[in-house]
């Protein structure tokens, strides 16, 4: 992810003079950071999902009957399956619809809650049930943009992929955390820069950098800032500047966009700036 170098406590993204290798190294969370996150709790299992899974979902959501009780990670049964079907029909990608509320389903719930103005907890509580019955449509920041484009809303920490003007995928993401860190030649700030960009290249698999690695990165500013998979995509902004995707979505995300030229539109005040 990108970084902003500090000079007299004033940082200007457009005037950043950090070498590309240094910034690209900062693009993902440091390996130590990811390892620490991984050991702070139980491992999160993921379920495979493909681009066919996304394209095959109905564009017209059926009526939804919410469960009588609360659902959360670890729940299972028919009520969870109905929840998964509802989220999938609304384009919140979660993998296999199997009736098990795992990490992938929680990621989708986080994104749904953010878009619908519900407190982001991952728990299907009363407010979330009401939103699932009467969901809000995501409001694009500027409909004059390309029909096929990637929008990253930092205020909500969600990524929305449009194909021919229609929402194809909504995902939870984690963008720049705003913290300061030592980037080798001074202090850098972890910022995902707002603006209009184009994808520049795609690199398959795990791409190693000095501070860690990024999975299936799709770059949008040279080979510096990327949308990529990571094993740690928390509910809050935490990257060094790149846009982190859940691993199961990063498995196929690059197949839905062009490696060169797809619009990437980043906007919204990051949570840490509020």
The reply to whether domains 4-41+143-273 and 51-133 share a CATH topology is no
Residue 50 is predicted with a pLDDT of 52
Where is pLDDT greater, at 58 or 156? 156
List the chain domain ranges. 4-41+143-273, 51-133
Per-residue DSSP letter, 180: E
The domain at 51-133 falls in which architecture?
Orthogonal Bundle (1.10)
What's the predicted TM-score (pTM) here? Answer: 0.81
Average pLDDT of span 9-34: 36
Average pLDDT, the chain: 82
Task: Give the Cα separation of 145 and 164 in Å (integer).
Answer: 11
Give me the numbers of helices (H) and strands (E) for the chain, helices first please: 7, 13
The share of the chain scoring above pLDDT 90, in percent, equals 66
Task: Give the Cα separation of 35 and 199 in Å (integer).
Answer: 29
Residue 25 is predicted with a pLDDT of 45
In Å, how far are 56, 243, 274 from 217, measured between CA atoms?
25, 10, 29
Terminal Cα distance for the chain, rounded: 21
- Max avg pLDDT among 15-29, 36-50, 93-107, 207-221: 93-107
Residue 92 is predicted with a pLDDT of 98
pLDDT in tens, 92-151: 999 999 999 999 999 999 999 999 999 999 999 999 999 999 999 998 887 778 899 999
- Please name the fold of domain 4-41+143-273: L,D-transpeptidase catalytic domain-like (2.40.440)
């Amino acid at each position: 992810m990108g970084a902003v170098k500090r000079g007299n406590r004033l940082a200007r993204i457009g005037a950043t003079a950090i070498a590309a290798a240094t910034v690209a190294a900062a693009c993902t969370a440091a390996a130590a950071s990811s390892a620490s996150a991984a050991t702070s709790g139980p491992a999160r299992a993921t379920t495979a999902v493909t681009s066919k899974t996304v394209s095959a979902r109905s564009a017209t959501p059926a009526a939804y009957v919410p469960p009588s009780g609360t659902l959360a990670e670890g729940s299972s049964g028919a009520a969870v399956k109905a929840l998964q079907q509802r989220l999938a029909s609304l384009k919140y990608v979660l993998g296999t619809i199997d009736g098990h509320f795992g990490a992938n389903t929680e990621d989708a719930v986080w994104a749904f809650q953010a878009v619908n103005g519900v407190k982001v907890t991952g728990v299907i509580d009363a407010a979330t049930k009401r939103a699932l019955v009467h969901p809000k449509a995501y409001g694009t920041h500027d409909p004059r943009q390309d029909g096929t484009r990637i929008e990253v809303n930092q205020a909500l920490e969600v990524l929305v992929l449009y194909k021919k003007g229609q929402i194809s995928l909504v995902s939870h993401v984690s963008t720049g955390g705003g913290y300061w860190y030592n980037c080798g030649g001074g202090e850098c700030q972890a910022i995902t820069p707002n603006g209009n960009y184009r994808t520049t290249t795609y690199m398959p698999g795990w791409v190693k950098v000095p501070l860690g690695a990024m999975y299936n990165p799709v770059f949008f500013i040279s080979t510096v800032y990327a949308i990529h998979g990571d094993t740690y995509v928390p509910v809050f902004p935490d990257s060094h500047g790149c846009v982190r995707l859940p691993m199961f979505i990063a498995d196929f995300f690059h197949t839905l966009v062009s490696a060169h030229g797809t619009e990437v539109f980043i906007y919204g005040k990051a949570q840490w700036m509020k």
